[in-house]
């Protein structure tokens, strides 16, 4: 392995090939809605149900639908709101006045299923089990429900008993181990993680919805307190409250609604058995250990969409920790394995001047952490052409869920009305 400074740095993407219709495109996202985003604990006295309901109503208004048109719910994270609260279809029906549902299901695990939940909605619609499906996530991190200490706060069991004595209290500690291995194997530097944090903060600077809009410098990054070596404060996502909802329906029905429909080009969720061990066992093979676990998802997603990485115009990559953005860039083929460090340091992911703009909304690092739903919202806005940091002539957006416990997931959205 050569020194990092001697590695070739990608300078751009190959020309896109011209194909008019790619992927399934049999369903479309027609509405998105969100509450304001709050710093952790600042959403009180609002409740999970009230925030989720407000987001659903806003999504209906965006789509030009009545809330009574909803007949399906497609959740992820096992319909949990974070790790301390749950969301219940019957409660939403009672609260919002929804008369009947014909579909209600959830992907298992946590934020890894966020992008895949749209695929779950599609499955219901294509199967004829529902016509208008809502996906919603609400989060309220009360003082005793901090996601960052989830493993330390649960009673010992055969799984966490191998984690807790090692001081691995939360996802950040576990990700730090994978990160250190990537640094050891490929010479990845902390400067690469800083480049991700700085790029996304810059993207958030002009967004009124963002929690963090103040400038972030390289000195700020390296002077920040270390939380889980080599991950410092700015390598961690924000701790926030709020809710986001998305409405999916058939492509035919979508044509008659308020917004130009954003077609679902492809969706995939799942993952390999080896990645399934990632949060609990540090003995994965090297190609999995130094990864985001997304390589199998990328393969299925591109095959279903009929596209390659060169066709993606904007990437909304799940960014609970900066190194996982870097490893997803590798797993999705935007750069070679082990080359994520020089790729991001080259400026390739920047909104202005980059070859593949990443997290143009500021992501979970700077806008808000709503367990992946802000990425779907930004993907829809990019494809509508209404994003704050709009990527010119964008035709395809990649959205990811996780790296996390299985499933991890991916979603490709197409240009609205196309």
> How far is the C-alpha of 323 from the C-alpha of 176, rounded, in Å?
9
| Cis previous bond, 45, omega within 30 | yes
First-last CA distance in the chain: 45
Look up residue 223 and give its two tokens.
Answer: 């002077």
Let me know if 369 is a catalytic residue.
Answer: yes
Give the span between the Cα atoms of 221 and 154, in whole angstroms.
32
- Is 318 part of the annotated catalytic residue set? yes
**Among 76, 221, 351, 369, the one annotated catalytic:** 369
Secondary structure of the chain: what % helix, strand, coil (to 5)? 40, 20, 45
Name the active-site residue from 38, 221, 318, 332.
318
Measured in degrees and rounded to the nearest 5, phi and psi for residue 65 equal -115, 155
Whether residue 233 contacts residue 323, with contact meaning beta carbons closer than 8 Å, is answered with no
Question: By CB neighbour count within 10 A (0-12 exposed, 13-18 middle, 19+ buried), where does 303 fall?
Answer: exposed
Distant-in-sequence, close-in-space partners of 3: CB < 8 Å, separation ≥ 6: 187
- What span, in angstroms and rounded, lies between the C-alpha atoms of 363 and 224? 19
Please spell the DSSP secondary structure of 153-199, one letter per residue. HSPP-TTGGGTGGGT--SHHHHHHHHHHHHHHHH---HHHHHHHHHH
Q: Distance of alpha carbon 319 from its chain centroid, rounded?
A: 7
Q: Containing H/E element for 286? A: helix 286-289
Check: CB of residue 274 under 8 Å from CB of residue 288: yes
Displacement of CA 58 from its chain's centroid (Å): 21
Could you list the active site residues? 318, 369
């Amino acid at each position: 392995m050569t020194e990092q400074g001697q590695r070739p740095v990608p300078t751009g993407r190959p020309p896109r090939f011209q194909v008019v219709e790619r992927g399934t495109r049999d369903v479309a996202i027609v509405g998105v809605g969100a509450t304001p985003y709050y710093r952790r604990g600042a959403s009180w006295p609002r409740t999970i149900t009230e925030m989720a309901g407000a987001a659903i109503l806003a999504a209906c208004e965006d789509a030009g639908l009545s809330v009574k048109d909803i007949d399906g719910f497609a959740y992820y994270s096992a319909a949990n709101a974070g790790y301390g609260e749950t969301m219940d279809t019957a409660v939403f029906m009672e609260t919002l006045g929804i008369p009947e549902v014909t579909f209600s299901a959830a992907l298992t695990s946590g934020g890894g299923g966020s992008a895949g939940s749209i695929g779950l909605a599609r499955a219901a619609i294509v199967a004829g089990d529902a016509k208008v499906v809502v996906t919603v996530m609400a989060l309220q991190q009360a003082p005793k429900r901090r996601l960052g200490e989830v493993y330390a706060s649960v009673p010992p069991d055969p799984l966490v008993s191998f984690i807790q004595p090692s001081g691995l209290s939360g996802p950040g500690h576990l990700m730090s181990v994978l990160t250190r291995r990537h640094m050891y194997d490929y010479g990845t530097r902390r400067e690469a993680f800083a480049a991700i944090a700085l790029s996304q903060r810059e993207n958030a600077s002009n967004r009124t919805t963002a929690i963090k809009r103040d400038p972030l410098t390289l000195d700020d990054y390296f002077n920040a307190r270390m939380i889980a070596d080599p991950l410092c404060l700015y390598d961690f996502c924000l701790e926030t409250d709020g809710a986001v909802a998305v409405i999916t329906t058939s492509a035919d029905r979508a044509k008659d609604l308020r917004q130009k429909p954003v077609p679902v080009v492809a969706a995939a969720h799942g993952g390999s058995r080896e990645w399934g061990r990632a949060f609990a066992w540090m003995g994965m093979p090297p190609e999995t250990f130094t990864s985001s676990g997304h390589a199998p998802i990328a393969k299925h997603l591109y095959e279903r969409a009929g596209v390659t990485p060169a066709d993606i115009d904007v990437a909304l990559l799940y960014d609970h920790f900066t190194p996982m953005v870097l490893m997803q860039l590798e797993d999705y083929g935007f750069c070679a394995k082990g080359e994520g460090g020089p790729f991001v340091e080259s400026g390739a992911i920047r909104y202005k001047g980059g070859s593949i703009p990443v997290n143009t909304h500021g992501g979970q690092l700077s806008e808000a952490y709503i367990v992946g739903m802000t990425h779907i919202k930004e993907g829809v806005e990019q494809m509508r052409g209404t994003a704050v940091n709009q990527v010119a002539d964008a035709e395809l957006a990649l959205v990811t869920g996780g790296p996390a416990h299985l499933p991890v997931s991916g979603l490709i959205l197409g240009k609205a009305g196309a």
